[in-house]
């Protein structure tokens, strides 16, 4: 198949179309370690990407495309880095919504992390994967009676309360099972995180939590304490958003949460032993992103909480955090095969792959930005501005909005989009009746399926016609 350069589409130095983009990298074959999983390399002999020592062409031949390829060593190393950064005096709860499977639950258990779930399905997966119930936290803004009952019966370590109705529901479930359920109250602290509107979660005008500003959170604490026979209030929870790089928001959040702890002590004579500042720590989706390391985050958050507690005259509570994306996100990439290359004269070249918004909705939903690399070979062709798009019947079916790829990309080439370990499989759909891709875990030269590819038979299995 010919690999001659495309006859149209902007090249480096051309007048470029509107939209966000950067100058092309000096070397299109280079891999930025900030963006890629730790064992991903480009083999010098032929320029093919490898992960865990395995050629991506081998993975594509064995498992098909699209496929999520997960670097197990990297995932485990990130778990250890977070656990060691916060130390024995704090708790790290992996946010299961980022990506969850029974294999992942086993890894978390073996690496000493706890697990945060927010639905009955996530709880079922957590227990099936062997996570001890006492190391599970149950979140959610509208937990059903059945989910609450199942969580209390299983003995989850904490339930994060999100409304007055939920206080009563959890209290009833605890009395029904004859236990005193450990709970936290989730508060909204009025911090506007510098992130997309749909993933900013601590300003008052949104569905999560109980507001500090109008006294609702303080009233929730009173109601929980009134159920002292069935509920044990162990702390306050706050979450200010997602994909956050600036620690200033956490400082404001911690100050306001500690203020509530102080008010609880003054009004009720109780010093709550825990404070959970949530997750939302950002990762590098492109080379422009500059996330902090776990030890830097742990020191910053620890210093913030210690400073605020000292100022309020409070004993230092046990700190909890909930990194999900920061663990899972960088550890996987999505492997696609190019099907169509369509140059538009003077605009850009559209490169269509065999996946799209059904396996990565984040570009369409959040205007998220991703990197992309030619994975099945190296190329010395000049860089060309492209838009990597999917196969779905939507003009918004975009995987990478603006990126540079070698100008000789052709059908049959493999492309890899890094940093897709969080939320891509979790938010995947069957749009256009497309089966969801598999998740392939790679470690030490071996690959195994941890979530199998859906089939058309799977789609029909739910169709009772």
For the annotated catalytic residues, the residue numbers are: 393
Biggest alpha carbon–alpha carbon distance for the chain: 77
Only one residue has tokens 């009952």, namely: 149
Contacts of 9 (CB under 8 A, 6+ apart): 343, 344, 345, 347, 348, 349, 384, 385, 386, 407
Question: Do 96 and 117 contact (CB within 8 A), yes or no?
Answer: yes
How many Å apart are CA 399 and CA 402, to the nearest integer? 9
In b/e form, how buried is each residue of 83-92, taking b as 16+ CB within 10 angstroms? Answer: bebbeeebbb
**Cα 445 vs. chain centroid, distance in angstroms?**
26
H helices of 112-155, in order, are 120-128, 145-154
Q: Which tokens go with 51?
A: 């992960």
Please name the residue that has the structure tokens 């029904």: 176
Distances 248 to 46, 195, 261, 363 between C-alpha atoms, Å = 46, 13, 20, 27
Measured CA to CA, the distance from residue 460 to residue 465 in angstroms comes to 9
- DSSP letter assigned to residue 219: H
List helix spans (H) across 129-242.
Answer: 145-154, 164-177, 216-226
- Straight-line distance from the first to the last Cα atom of the chain, in angstroms, rounded to the nearest whole number: 44
User: In angstroms, what is the C-alpha Rg of the chain?
Assistant: 24
Q: Which is nearest to 297 in space by CA: 317, 322, 314, 272?
A: 322
- Three-class SS state of 100: coil
Closest by CA to 448, choosing from 77, 63, 37, is: 63
């Amino acid at each position: 198949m010919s690999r001659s350069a495309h006859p149209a589409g902007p090249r480096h130095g051309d007048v470029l179309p509107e939209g966000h983009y950067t100058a092309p990298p000096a070397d299109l074959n280079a891999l930025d370690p900030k963006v890629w999983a730790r064992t991903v390399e480009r083999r010098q002999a032929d320029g093919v990407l490898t992960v865990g020592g395995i050629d991506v062409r081998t993975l594509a031949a064995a498992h098909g495309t699209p496929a999520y390829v997960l670097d197990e060593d990297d995932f485990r190393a990130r778990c250890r880095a977070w656990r060691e950064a916060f130390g024995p005096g704090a708790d790290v709860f992996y946010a299961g919504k980022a990506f969850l499977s029974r294999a992942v639950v086993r890894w978390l258990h073996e690496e000493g992390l706890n697990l945060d779930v927010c639905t009955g399905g996530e709880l079922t997966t957590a227990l099936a994967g062997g996570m001890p119930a006492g190391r599970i936290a149950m979140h959610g803004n509208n937990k059903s009676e059945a989910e609450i009952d199942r969580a209390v019966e299983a003995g989850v370590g904490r339930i994060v309360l999100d409304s007055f109705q939920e206080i009563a529901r959890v209290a009833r479930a605890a009395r029904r099972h004859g236990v005193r359920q450990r709970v936290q109250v989730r508060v909204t602290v009025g911090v506007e995180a510098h992130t997309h509107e749909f993933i900013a979660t601590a300003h008052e005008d949104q569905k999560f939590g109980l507001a500090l500003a109008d006294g609702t959170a303080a009233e929730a604490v009173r109601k929980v304490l009134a159920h002292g026979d069935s509920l044990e209030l162990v702390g306050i929870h706050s979450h200010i958003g997602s994909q956050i790089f600036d620690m200033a928001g956490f400082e404001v959040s911690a100050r306001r949460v500690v203020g509530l702890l102080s008010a609880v002590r003054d009004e009720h004579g109780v010093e709550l032993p825990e404070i959970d500042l949530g997750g939302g720590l950002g990762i590098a989706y492109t080379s422009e992103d500059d996330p902090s390391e776990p030890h830097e985050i742990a020191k910053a958050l620890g210093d913030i909480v210690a400073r605020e507690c000292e100022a309020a005259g409070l004993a230092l509570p046990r700190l909890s955090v909930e990194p999900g994306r920061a663990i899972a996100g960088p550890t996987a990439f999505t492997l696609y095969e190019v099907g169509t290359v369509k140059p538009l004269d003077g605009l850009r070249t559209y490169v269509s792959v065999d996946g799209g918004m059904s396996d990565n909705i984040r570009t369409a939903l959040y205007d998220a930005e991703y990197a992309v690399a030619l994975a099945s070979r190296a190329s010395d062709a000049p860089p060309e501005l492209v838009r990597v798009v999917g196969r779905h019947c939507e003009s918004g079916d975009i995987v990478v909005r603006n990126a540079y790829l070698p100008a000789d990309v052709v059908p049959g080439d493999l492309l890899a989009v890094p940093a897709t370990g969080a939320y891509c499989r979790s938010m995947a759909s069957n749009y256009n009746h497309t089966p969801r891709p598999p998740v392939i875990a790679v470690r030490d030269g071996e690959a195994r399926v941890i979530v199998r590819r859906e089939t058309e038979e799977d789609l029909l299995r739910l169709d009772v016609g």
